[in-house]
Chains A and B, each alone.
Chain A
Amino acid sequence: MGEGDGAGFQPPQKQEQEQWMERALTMAKEALENGEVPVGCLMVYRNEILGQGRNEVNETKNATRHAEMVAIDQVLKWCHQKGRDRKEVFEHTVLYVTVEPCIMCAAALRLLNIPLVVYGCQNERFGGCGSVLNISQDDLLYTGTPFQCLGGYRAEEAVELLKTFYKAENPNAPKSKARKKH
């Protein structure tokens, strides 16, 4: 694999993983309360949160502004401000997210050489880590490096949050106050 295989990356201890996932789940719940897509997402570099995104599709009118992409931009910004080598940073950054990244985000994570993604429930509609395609592991020479996935952390809760959100999203369903902006 040569350089870019995250040499020297040690996956965090299980207990540490659970702490960050707990936090991601809390973020997802907060998002739901604010009428946003209930996805919690954290990018953690050497025990420090460098990015925590939430879905910004509606505000930006850009359908690619998923939580992961927003968090990635925060990490990039951090690297820029601190004058850090972004390659080194991403190669030691773990993504904690309540829902399996979609195909687009999985490809983006590969392009940045992120070594590990810990996620909650599967993403049946768009999942890029096995559900629809397996971008995380496929043989793609020109699309960064494959990454490891640990799925299933409190998956039922994560699914339940999404279901609640999409029920409100459905125009045929009774309008929920939570969906209204402001």
Chain B
Amino acid sequence: MDDSASLKQEKESQEAEDAERPGEEMTAASSQDPEPESSEPVESEHGPETGPQPGSSPPWSPQSRASAPSDGLPEPGAAPAPRSPQEPSSSPLLPPDKQDPAAPSQSDRITRVDPEAGTPHSGHLEQIPDKGESTYEIFQSERKAFGRSQQPKPHLYGQRDASYNNSKQKELRFDIFHEEDSNSNYTLEQPEPGISDTAPSMLEIAVQNAKAYLLKSSSKSGLNLYDHLSSMLTKILDERPENAVDIIENISRDVKMAYFSKKLDTLQSENEMLPIYEIAEKQKALFLQGNLEGADQELEDEIAENSLPNVMESAFYFEQAGVGLGTDETYRIFLGLKQLTDTHPFHRCRFWGKILGLEMNYIVAEVEFRDGEDEEEVEEEDVAEERDNGESEADEDEEDELPKSFYKAPQAVPKEESRTGANKYVYFVCNEPGRPWVKLPSVTPAQIVIARKIKKFFTGRLDAPIISYPPFPGNESNYLRAQIARISAGTHVSPLGFYQFVEEEGEEEEEVEGGRDSFEENPDFEGIQVTDLVESLSSWVHHVQHILPQGRCNWFNPKEKSEEEEEEEDEEKEEEEKGEEPDYIEQEVGPPLLTPISEDLEIQNTPPWTTRLSSNLIPQYAIAVLRSNLWPGAYTFSNGRKFENFYIGWGLKYSPDNYTPPVPPQVYQEYPSGPEITEMDDPSVEEEQAFRAAQEAVLAAERKEETEEEEDEDDDDD
């Protein structure tokens, strides 16, 4: 009896749950309504309210289950049952239309008063162990349906009988939302201290979370477990199969099948363009380009004058050294370089390295154009600069009256011609092999000077602004170029003797004392023992020019030009110039080309280079590996005859100390207080009188001496 009754009760509640969705809207509408209604028949509400509190959660307490038959039996079956028979019973008391969701409770209330009112305590006590039951979650759904319709009463009941019904119990039984609902409905009538104010307990939150999780709809089917479970239970209870537990999987599947509906949407979804396919598409071009070229004779010619470096060979050696990018990436870069050399007239090309960035990385290729291929862009830039100068001069001419600003920006050091100094090579970068190569602009000394003072990460976007304290003239592409110039100048080294000076072309550069900035491969180079390379730093030499503090490789004398134009201003400018250049400009000299690296400066007890043999196990075939400590990430290998430089890293210089931002420039002193600034007091009366007397005396003296003609003049003066 008890079992079947409880089953029926469950069923009934299940049905009520089925009606939940329509019910939700209705409760939303009706939740407002009970107020006027309940205020009207206060007595009628209050009388039965003591009863339904435990009844509000019938499936929880056996007691309420036991009581269920009294009202549950009459309508065990069809879905509309809970509503239709109860309406008449409630209609005498309340308007049938709006009271609809609350109706079942009304009937409950009436029938249940007798058993419940007698033993309210035991009813509550028994509810507690019930909560641990496995059916808890499911019952919650039922309670939800019931709670919606019945909330007002139990709540009020609870507030009244707080003496034995502590708030925690209640919270466990009722969702926060329900409490809030009921509160909003009834605070007007019952302004008792709000139960909803008390913090929800951990268990309550856990239940909420579990329920929310169950209600999450699947991204594939759009179902959620919560509904699925409730439909399953409905089905089981409807059909009453034997041994339901054994076939639960099938039931689950059947229920899911029942959900199956045709997809009416006939539009095909567009293929998603995943980035992974995009880059694959681009890289495909790299692998195909070889096939595209046809004629064999041309191919031979090309091979003869090909400027493509053997990236894989040097990658092999670098791998011995423990540096490198991995085989497949190296090969892609190799193909990327091939693409670059095929489309540009290069004399020489080299894989410079990789600079890491925050969002993307840079792969850098160092190239040398064939003669006369690279001039256009440079000229354009120059023109632009000249225009700027012209404008500023025009401004100066306009105003004559007031003193102009004496301050002149320290003379800009012109950048070096392409193919000389720091602009000897042109650099191309790309973010990933397969993406287009971008040519970096040539570097100006100002950029190098400032780049030395700042320390910034690269973002990976060439047009990103560089926001730094000494304002950096340019965007990230200029900064990248400046860092590349600095790294190249610092870390490109070769075994002693590999390069030699070109004697004839030495005269090309006029003012350099060292005289020689070009070199060629030494045809007589016989190779160096690897052990010598490892043991002695003096067998490595720099083959890239040192960058002077001025920012150029070749000395540019800013004084010479300034003498012609601004001799007068020089005196005033002296102080201002001190920041950049000393007053008397002494030529800055750095180590000349092909200086051994053993003469490099130490960084606070840290040797600037570390040499190593790639393998201690097989020294006879090992190669010498050189690692820069000044520019972490710069490596050089040499097997005696071949060598290669490579950089991979953040593009930043190492310093054992913290980076210190440069000090702010000196505050300009005000004009010293001197005779030009101070004024005399106003002339006093005595002084003026004395002056007049003196003048008259002079005039009188003149009159005596001069002829009559001059006397006329005196008259005029007066």
Chain B binds chain A: no
